[in-house]
């Protein structure tokens, strides 16, 4: 969980929201969405999930936001989760992810050591995703990448997944 009392954590969270908000459509599942801070950018119904996945069981969504989350999950497990997302995403829906780049790892570790960002959060990172791995995640789950961009001085990345028309 993000400790918003740490000013840099709050700044980084708001920066991710700025990158993601233009891609939010309709009803949104905020997967790993902390305390629901993203809700203010959602025009449709908003569903927050952290550890309990049951709130999404009987629902489908136009957007699934996964902001600063996949780096905290074991690599293989992310593929299984995205397979579930495929079933929960409505036609013309999208998944938005942000995740630190591989080159950000030493910077994040130094910042956390200095107490500028939350150390516990960085220690929980299990995998830093490359662009190639993000594209592979999309392909293996029947998605295409509509948008891929680096931000925060190439230390973070955003990708927008959509259903692959060839699959549907």
DSSP H stretches of helix in the chain: 7-20, 75-88, 105-113, 119-123, 131-140
pLDDT in tens, 51-97: 998 999 999 999 999 999 999 999 999 999 999 999 999 999 999 99
Nearest alpha carbon to residue 125 among 67, 50, 72, 78:
72
pLDDT in tens, 99-149: 999 999 999 999 999 999 999 999 999 999 999 999 999 999 999 999 999
The answer to whether residue 3 scores a pLDDT higher than 60 is yes
At 5 the pLDDT is: 74
Token pair 């996964």 is found at 66
Where do the structural domains in the chain lie, given as residue ranges? 7-163
Q: What angle do CA 149, 10, 119 make, to 5 degrees?
A: 90
The whole-model pTM stands at 0.94
At 137 the pLDDT is: 98
- Residues 58, 62, 68, 72, Cα dihedral to 10°: 30
CATH architecture, range 7-163: 3-Layer(aba) Sandwich (3.40)
């Amino acid at each position: 969980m993000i400790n918003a009392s740490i000013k840099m954590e709050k700044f980084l969270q708001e920066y991710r929201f700025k990158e993601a908000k233009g891609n939010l459509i309709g009803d949104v599942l905020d997967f790993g969405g902390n305390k629901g801070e993203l809700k203010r950018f959602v025009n449709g119904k908003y569903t927050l999930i952290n550890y309990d996945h049951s709130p999404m069981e009987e629902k489908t969504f136009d957007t699934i936001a996964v902001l600063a989350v996949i780096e905290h999950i074991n690599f293989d497990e992310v593929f299984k989760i995205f397979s579930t997302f495929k079933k929960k995403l409505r036609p013309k829906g999208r998944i938005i992810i942000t995740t630190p780049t591989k080159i950000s790892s030493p910077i994040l570790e130094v910042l956390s050591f200095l107490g500028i960002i939350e150390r516990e959060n960085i220690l929980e990172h299990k995998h830093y995703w490359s662009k190639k791995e993000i594209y592979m995640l999309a392909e293996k789950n029947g998605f295409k990448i509509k948008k891929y961009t680096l931000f925060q001085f190439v230390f973070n990345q955003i990708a927008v997944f959509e259903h692959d028309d060839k699959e549907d």
